[in-house]
Chains A and B, each alone.
Chain A
């Protein structure tokens, strides 16, 4: 096959490229240019930076494969950054890395494969896919601790058919061993934690420029609507948060809701934080369609999957869960197999 490896400059995608080359495929590498900061200056921290592109370029040179930087800044701005700002401004919990997968990597980049005359896109995600008959399955990565299938849970047959995740078959340790064995400069590179377009700048600085409304002061109320404190903007608050509420009452209080339209934070006791069900949006099934029934639901990247029941666009937890906020992604599993995914529209 002729394959395009999306190389972030990290160890996983470096090894993905090496594995594909070893398997005898015609490989080319590409780094996506997704973001340039104020004045067009490329970010220097987080993923997709100049130094990351340089790492990817050097690894590609070592593997003797052609390497390119592809400009997807417009797609990224429209699909990811604007969404991130909008989510923040509306009190939702954004996940820009998942949006980047959804709108940039597995949509716009994938759509260019034909032009590049490539058969498949390869990424360094820790997930596995396999073909059973004429259907593709998506599974958790071999390394359960590093599993990234959660951030891929929006993929369907169309994308899986044209995507490969070679490092998902290895543990992270094995990936690093392969990289070290080849003398790759990325072998011991730490994982990036920053959101690439925010970088080492704090969230507040970024949001002040892009969503100043989240800094408007407002009130903190209890679930009966009684004002218990004031705040300096919803920006500092997430659902489930306990500290820094400025509420001086006896029992512990938690943020249970953020109403961005009135800049109001609602607090309550631990029992009020419990979520029994969530409304779903952008629901997709890996197989193309799904039926109501039991699933294991995971609503955090490295959280446990918990028993739940899907009914239409509602998901009901068997045991109430805490700290679930609109905007979060929720992935559905059957054991290691990813059944599908959705965004949480509302928690009830």
Chain B
């Protein structure tokens, strides 16, 4: 199989599972306990917190362990809004993950002020437009760092700057799920108060994420209970998951340069092969300001549902937008926000490369894709 769906999830990096395993069995202790087996677990938990903090330029206690990207996004937004009695609004963009768009919808139903900012044809958010949507009701702005479908890099530092200029007390959050491990991330440089990271996107376990929370940021928990994580996220710690995300994060950051050099080359190779083969190929991933590993392509007149099915049977794993509960492909809200018609969006396929990708895979995939697209026309 040629796996070109790394943005959906990527295999665990060697060494991660081994690092986690002891905390599932021998060192099973609850880090909140007062005995030896708990102290071992607690040490591992805090060591993981320190490692993660160091990687993003944060302090250890600014790291909150969660069950993943979706929970972190929910906690960032709901936690910020619910911790206040005034200024309870949210501004976000039209191309966010459902974790944010559905949260926005939920808050709107509860009569919290929400605003959704559009994007240009490259799925890029305009900092000035975001700032213009900020008003004296805004509590938090959330814009993702790299779009999961197109690989568009959003100008987070500029957005933070514009937002803070308009309202210094407005919190700035980014969902960095697609960016971590490939982009350079320093929370101060980016002007962030909150940031979401998910382990399984860079070689860690599923069900593990963090929310970076700048010191002094008021946050109402979404999960109330025993008061773990300084009261910001209750529930007995999954120490193995914390060790897993920290181990994978260190491995990913050590391997980051290879994304800019080797992995980007794989993506560029596939892109070149596809545009050479069919002159009407439309590349939805922007030319500039793009991640190293996303390639979103439209083959006019070829329905993505059919192409993905045949690709699957030819041993190439790719995807299109997100899938609904039953498993049917849905028209991507990102592509629609970019101005595409539903029919055009149904002709788009996403190929995403990752740490296991090779040039040979890119070439083999290109052969198969070109053959299938030709047959479908």
A interface, CB within 8 angstroms of B: 28, 31, 33, 36, 40, 42, 49-50, 53, 57, 66, 68-71, 112, 115-117
- The stretch that binds A, out of B34-42, B129-137, B323-331, is B323-331
Please determine whether A117 and B310 come into contact, CB atoms closer than 8 angstroms.
yes
Count A/B pairs, Cβ under 8 Å.
44
Residues in chain A near residue B309, CB distance under 8 A? 28, 66, 68, 116
Contact of A36 among B303, B305, B306, B324 (CB under 8 A): B324
List B residues 313-342 near A (Cβ within 8 Å). Answer: 313, 324-330
Residues in chain A near residue B306, CB distance under 8 A? 112, 115-116
Contact of A33 among B303, B328, B375, B376 (CB under 8 A): B328
Q: Pick 10 A–B contacts, CB within 8 A, sort by A.
A: A31-B327, A33-B326, A33-B327, A36-B324, A53-B327, A66-B312, A70-B305, A71-B305, A115-B306, A116-B309
B interface, CB within 8 angstroms of A: 303, 305-306, 309-310, 312-313, 324-330, 375-376
Q: How far is the CA of A33 from the CA of B303 in the complex (A)?
A: 16
Please determine whether B310 and A116 come into contact, CB atoms closer than 8 angstroms.
yes
Please determine whether A69 and B328 come into contact, CB atoms closer than 8 angstroms.
yes
Q: How far is the CA of A252 from the CA of B324 in the complex (A)?
A: 52
Contact of B325 among A42, A70, A115 (CB under 8 A): A42
Q: How far is the CA of A117 from the CA of B312 in the complex (A)?
A: 13
> Given A71-B305, A116-B306, A116-B309, does the pair A50, B325 have CB atoms closer than 8 Å?
yes
Which residue of A is nearest B313, CB measured? A66
> Given A70-B305, A115-B376, A116-B306, does the pair A42, B326 have CB atoms closer than 8 Å?
yes
Q: How far is the CA of A53 from the CA of B326 in the complex (A)?
A: 6
Q: How far is the CA of A49 from the CA of B324 in the complex (A)?
A: 12
Q: How far is the CA of A112 from the CA of B303 in the complex (A)?
A: 10
Residues in chain B near residue A57, CB distance under 8 A? 327
Please determine whether B375 and A71 come into contact, CB atoms closer than 8 angstroms.
no
Please determine whether B324 and A40 come into contact, CB atoms closer than 8 angstroms.
yes
Contact of A71 among B313, B325, B328, B376 (CB under 8 A): B328
Which residue of A is nearest B346, CB measured? A71
Residue among A53, A57, A115, A117 with max Cβ neighbours from chain B (10 Å): A115
Residues in chain B near residue A49, CB distance under 8 A? 326
Residues in chain A near residue B330, CB distance under 8 A? 71
Residues in chain B near residue A66, CB distance under 8 A? 309, 312-313
Q: How far is the CA of A69 from the CA of B306 in the complex (A)?
A: 11
Which residue of A is nearest B308, CB measured? A68
> Given A70-B305, A115-B376, A117-B375, does the pair A31, B310 have CB atoms closer than 8 Å?
no
